[in-house]
């Protein structure tokens, strides 16, 4: 009787974890869409202030992370409550806005599904512990960063820098690695890509990547330790190369189009969080 109860409890916990993850994934979608717009508005205001263009009119910002209500990006009509149900509403609406019939990006249910699976995996691996909470914060942050970079070629400092410092704090308690490894991971993660960037610029005269990539790899080093930086770079570079070749061969991108390398760094960091060691790949 007891094993059967434990089995049912495990199934119920998995189901609730999946539901929570999908709901939280819906919130992550809001951040992914609205944060770049909010940052762009702030940067425009800062530019106007710096250039002292007092007579230049900038429309008042009407968007935040928590407001306005979720709406169709095309017709701007607010969504009904049932149109906001994670995963389910996309299929109920058949992938189209209920008002204007414009197609809804498939990215929304994909983010919700990934968030749900990440939540289930974190709880299954780490149990109801503080390590599980930190693993979720790390995973959700990587998911947001990867999606924003894929969309906007941007890795916001407002996420990457706190993520770096949080990784050092978390590992001061030894959750994923020791503090010495975390500090070295943060330093070497940044310096390695910064060095590659400078060498590439000297040789080609072009910027090969953005500074956000340096900070993201530093954050991953702070969370997972310097020992996993080589495999992080290997996985991210190989997947970026394969993705670039496939999209180029399908004529989905041009030769000079930038590849959102941060998205692949984030994916590699997430994989290594749950596999724990590069030994699994060799």
C-alpha distances in angstroms, 268 versus 34, 96, 210, 239, 256? 25, 32, 18, 9, 24
State residue 141's pLDDT score.
97
Across the chain, mean pLDDT equals: 86
The per-residue pLDDT for 11 is 81
Residue 265 CB burial class (10 angstroms; 0-12, 13-18, ≥19): buried
**Residue 96: closest CA among 74, 112, 113, 111:** 74
Strand partners, 96: 103
Mean pLDDT by 10 residues, the chain (282 residues): 58 90 94 90 76 64 70 76 82 80 88 96 91 96 96 94 97 95 97 92 84 96 96 94 86 80 95 70 43
| CB atoms near residue 109 (< 10 Å) | 21
3-state secondary structure of 131: helix
Distant-in-sequence, close-in-space partners of 78: CB < 8 Å, separation ≥ 6:
68, 69, 70, 71
CA distance 221 to 216: 9
Beta carbons within 10 angstroms of residue 194's beta carbon: 17
Using CA of residue 155, residue 158, residue 159, residue 164, what is the dihedral sign? positive
What is the pTM for the complete model shown? 0.89
**Helices marked H in 52-73 — which ranges?**
none
Q: What pLDDT, on a 0 to 100 scale, did the predictor assign at position 171? A: 97
Question: Residue 273: phi, psi to the nearest 5?
Answer: -60, -40
């Amino acid at each position: 009787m007891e094993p059967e109860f434990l089995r049912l409890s495990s199934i119920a916990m998995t189901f609730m974890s999946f539901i929570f993850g999908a709901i939280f994934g819906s919130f992550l979608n809001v951040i992914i869409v609205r944060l770049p717009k909010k940052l762009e508005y702030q940067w425009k205001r800062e530019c106007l202030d710096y250039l002292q263009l007092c007579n230049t009119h900038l429309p008042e910002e009407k968007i935040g992370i928590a407001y306005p209500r979720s709406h169709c990006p095309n017709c701007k009509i607010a969504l009904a409550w049932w149109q906001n149900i994670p995963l389910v509403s996309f299929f109920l609406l058949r992938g189209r806005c209920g008002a204007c019939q414009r197609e809804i990006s498939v990215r929304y249910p994909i983010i919700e599904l990934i968030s749900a699976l990440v939540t289930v995996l974190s709880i299954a691996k780490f149990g109801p512990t503080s390590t599980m909470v930190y693993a979720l914060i790390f995973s959700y942050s990587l998911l947001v960063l990867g999606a924003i970079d894929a969309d906007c070629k941007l890795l916001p400092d407002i996420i990457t820098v706190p993520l770096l410092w949080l990784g050092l704090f978390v590992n001061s308690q030894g959750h994923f690695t020791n503090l010495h490894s975390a500090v070295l991971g943060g330093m070497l993660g940044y310096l390695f890509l910064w060095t590659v960037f400078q060498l590439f610029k000297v040789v080609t005269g072009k910027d090969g990547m953005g500074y956000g990539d340096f900070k993201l790899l530093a954050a991953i080093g702070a969370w997972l330790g310097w020992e996993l930086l080589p495999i992080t770079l290997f996985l991210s570079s190989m997947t970026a190369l394969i993705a670039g070749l496939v999209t180029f061969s399908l004529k989905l991108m041009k030769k000079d189009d930038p590849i959102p390398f941060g998205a692949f760094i984030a994916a590699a960091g997430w994989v290594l969080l749950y596999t724990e060691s590069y030994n699994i790949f060799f």
